[in-house]
A and B are shown apart, each in its own frame.
Chain A
Amino acid sequence: MMTSRPDILPQGTTDDAGAASGGASGGPSRGAMLTERFLRALYHDLYGRAPLRSERQGWLGKPLVDLVEAALVDEASWRYWLDVQLYYFMLIDRFEPVGTSLDELPERLASRRISPRDALHRIALTPSFELRNPGADTFVTVIMEQFCGIEVQRSTRELEIGKSAYDGGTGTFLGSKASSQSDVIQIAVTHRDAARHFVSREYERLFRTRCDRKQAARWGKEIQKSPNEMFALYRAWFASPEYAERVERGAPLSNQVWVRSVYVDLGDVIAPDEEVEALRGALDSLGDPVPLRSLIVRMLLDAEGTRSPRGPEIGEPGPWIDATFDRLLGRQPTDMERTQFLKVCEDGPDGPELVLYTLLTSPEYQIA
């Protein structure tokens, strides 16, 4: 197991369970219990959405490590992981692979019957990948850039060899013999630079900060040697003090995660994939998505399934406001906030709707 090798764990991470040391930085220890805020952040990163009511009830106060362990063998979390990877390769909208062998990847990843690296390999072999990257020049360029992080303008010789191999010629591409398109993919995916690049971009995705180059090289070396070690690395990352710091800092929600979270937070429902994609596609088309997010919230507040509760449906307004702040923002309201929100909530049947609209469009809700 990777966790028996301290050199592959984040700094400050203990080697017994991949859990972090805690202490002054606020990092969790093996016994760290899940708070509302930490649970929400973990769900954003592991499942791409906020937790459902039943999940909150099930996990709040439980050890963080237990949730990470459970998510890493849960097909649903790997479905989100696959979404993230497809987005990275821009295999979205009309290029999204639908009804392909990729559908089985989440289950195989959850049961460790395929490694993340080999799952990426499968993505590159899909017709969608070829459609997205037509022609030798584009295809080989993307393979070199996205898998290995190579700047092709500085590696024009490799690019030309790769293009030749793509078209059936023979050559030594990235140090290995290649004579076909599938050789080009295979060589790039298993190249040492690919492992390092994959670790770096995954670290950046989860920690929202650049990965130290030397550390990435060390991790990459291990992953290249044993691709399944990536599972242990994910586990160690989520339990590390660095991840706790990232939760403390907060980070902007991607449009996809924001859409899915709003559905959960309003209706306690998982958003249908086609609705997520339509809304994500629209939101992605704005440099600043905030104006459209505001429109979408108002639309959902009136829609069946995510409709806002009316005044009497919430019971006692005071506890409802406290609970709503905790659930949506991961904190209790200040005295000023409680006073103002209570006043609005008690001042007419549309009070809860105005409260939810305000909180869901607040700058604080846009980060997690």
Chain B
Amino acid sequence: MKAPDSNSRGRALPLSRRNLLRAGAAGSMIGLLGADGRALASGFEPFGARSPLRPDGKTKHVVLIIMSGGVRSRETFGSPEQIPNLVKLADEGVLFTRLRTANLGHFGASMSIVTGISEARGIRDNAPGPDPTIFEYVRKDLGLSAQEVWVATAGGAQQVNYAHGMHPEYGARYGATTLDGDGVFNEEFKALVKRFGAPRPLGEVPAEKVAGLRKALRGGKPATAEAESRARVERYILDELGGSTSELRGAGAGDAKALRLARNLLSVFRPRLIGVVLQDADIAHGSFNGYTEVVRRNDAAIGELVAAIRGDAELRDSTAVFVLPEFGRDSDLNTRRGLDHGDGSDDLRFVHGVAWGPDFRRNVVIKDDRQTIDFTPTIAQVFGAKARLAKGNVLREIFA
């Protein structure tokens, strides 16, 4: 079976590094330098096959999708016809019907999921939190590089702060590599690149000269591995700019870009852990219909992501997927016939969630209360890492 991918017209394409790179091949090579100062070869060096995260498990990769923006269970598992892909995922995995959460604002509630600690954050705060995130725990405990742990977001500058906290024992050096799909692949930026012209290739000789200059600026010291990692990210961005991600439009386009990005990152970098943080459902404040459209579109995009995983020989039997909203929404419509989030109702405080993967039980429904902050310690458990400061509990009942 071929892994479905979509071009801008929605036609299926095989998901492969070749197709991804072909999409952005023209004019994509630029002056990228590796740690040794040499220009990196065209295209991406493939990562080797991963070993299981735990000796007793099959999981090698984890995808965590946070449907941030506030999504009620009524419009997801309460209306299964709207979310056929999530329903299928739940049928093959574990469905939680009462995940308790708190109205800490979108930023704070989503941050709580990735830290495993309910933390109050200002709605418009734009700084990392004090606590380590799941990304830092797994990078530090497993000694993973920045390219093995990613976050793809849809909510702009603020969501970049999910990459890492400020805890002195963790922090930026263990942070995830973070990309916001709606930001870097926005039409304005792409238009500017088109107008100015994509950066020219830097040949081998100029690249060596630049390497020499950089070495002089370092006082003769050698380059760090970080430089090579950044060079790969630089090339990836340029390739993506030439692709179809930036052409996604309409209600929920930001979320669609984040999910498309996640799918491409899985193909190119084979990350151990990738977080996807969505945002567009918050259109619900002013438009209930727009909100349900976002829910449907996100379900379809999650379906494409999972289909891509199923169609990839390496990822198929080695990837786990977690999906949950950060909180729900009010019980009743507001005066604008939209849905706010502040009434303290069960619609707001309880959400559904799914865990799907090769090491998890199948077709199981957990009806008892659990918490959204339980996902970080659980994912850490999958990795054989420890979320030392998290307050949530490991969801042991998901494991087969």
Contacts and interface: CB of A to CB of B under 8 A. Distances in A.
Interface of A: 88-90, 92-93, 133-138, 141-142, 145-146, 151-154, 163, 274-275, 277-279, 281-282, 284-288, 290-292, 294-295, 298-300, 302-303, 334, 336-337, 339-341, 344, 347, 350, 354-355, 357-358, 362, 364
B217 A288 contact: no
Contacts of A294: 31, 230, 234
Interface residues of B, number: 66
29 contacts: A90-B158, A93-B156, A134-B285, A135-B338, A137-B103, A137-B341, A145-B124, A153-B120, A278-B186, A281-B188, A284-B156, A285-B183, A285-B184, A286-B184, A287-B163, A287-B175, A287-B179, A288-B146, A288-B230, A291-B231, A292-B184, A298-B202, A299-B199, A336-B216, A337-B216, A339-B216, A340-B212, A344-B209, A362-B214
B206 interface: yes
B197 interface: yes
B360 to A, nearest CB: 29
Nearest to B227: A290
A295 B206 contact: no
A358 B120 contact: no
A136 B120 contact: no
A281 B180 CA distance: 10
B334 A135 contact: yes
B184 A354 contact: no
B210 A298 contact: no
A286 B179 contact: yes
A278 B189 contact: yes
The 6 A-B pairs at the shortest CB distance, nearest first, are namely A285-B183, A137-B342, A287-B178, A285-B180, A298-B199, A291-B234
Contact of A336 (B146, B188, B220, B237): B220
Given A135-B285, A136-B340, A145-B124, A282 B216 contact: no
Interface of B: 30-31, 103-105, 120, 122-126, 146, 151, 153, 156-158, 160, 163-164, 175-184, 186, 188-189, 191-193, 196-200, 202, 206, 209-210, 212-217, 219-220, 230-231, 233-234, 237-238, 285-286, 334, 338, 340-342
B343 to A, nearest CB: 8
Contact of B123 (A145, A163, A285, A362): A145
B213 A340 contact: yes
A357 B338 CA distance: 50
A218 B210 CA distance: 51
A285 B189 CA distance: 12
A314 B383 CA distance: 56
Contacts of B191: 278
Given A135-B338, A151-B120, A287 B177 contact: yes
Given A137-B340, A137-B342, A357-B31, A303 B122 contact: no
Contacts of B156: 90, 92-93, 281, 284-285
Contact of B212 (A142, A274, A344): A344
Contacts of B192: 275, 278-279
Given A90-B158, A282-B189, A299-B197, A146 B180 contact: no
A279 B183 CA distance: 9
A163 B214 contact: no
Given A142-B123, A153-B104, A302-B197, A286 B189 contact: no
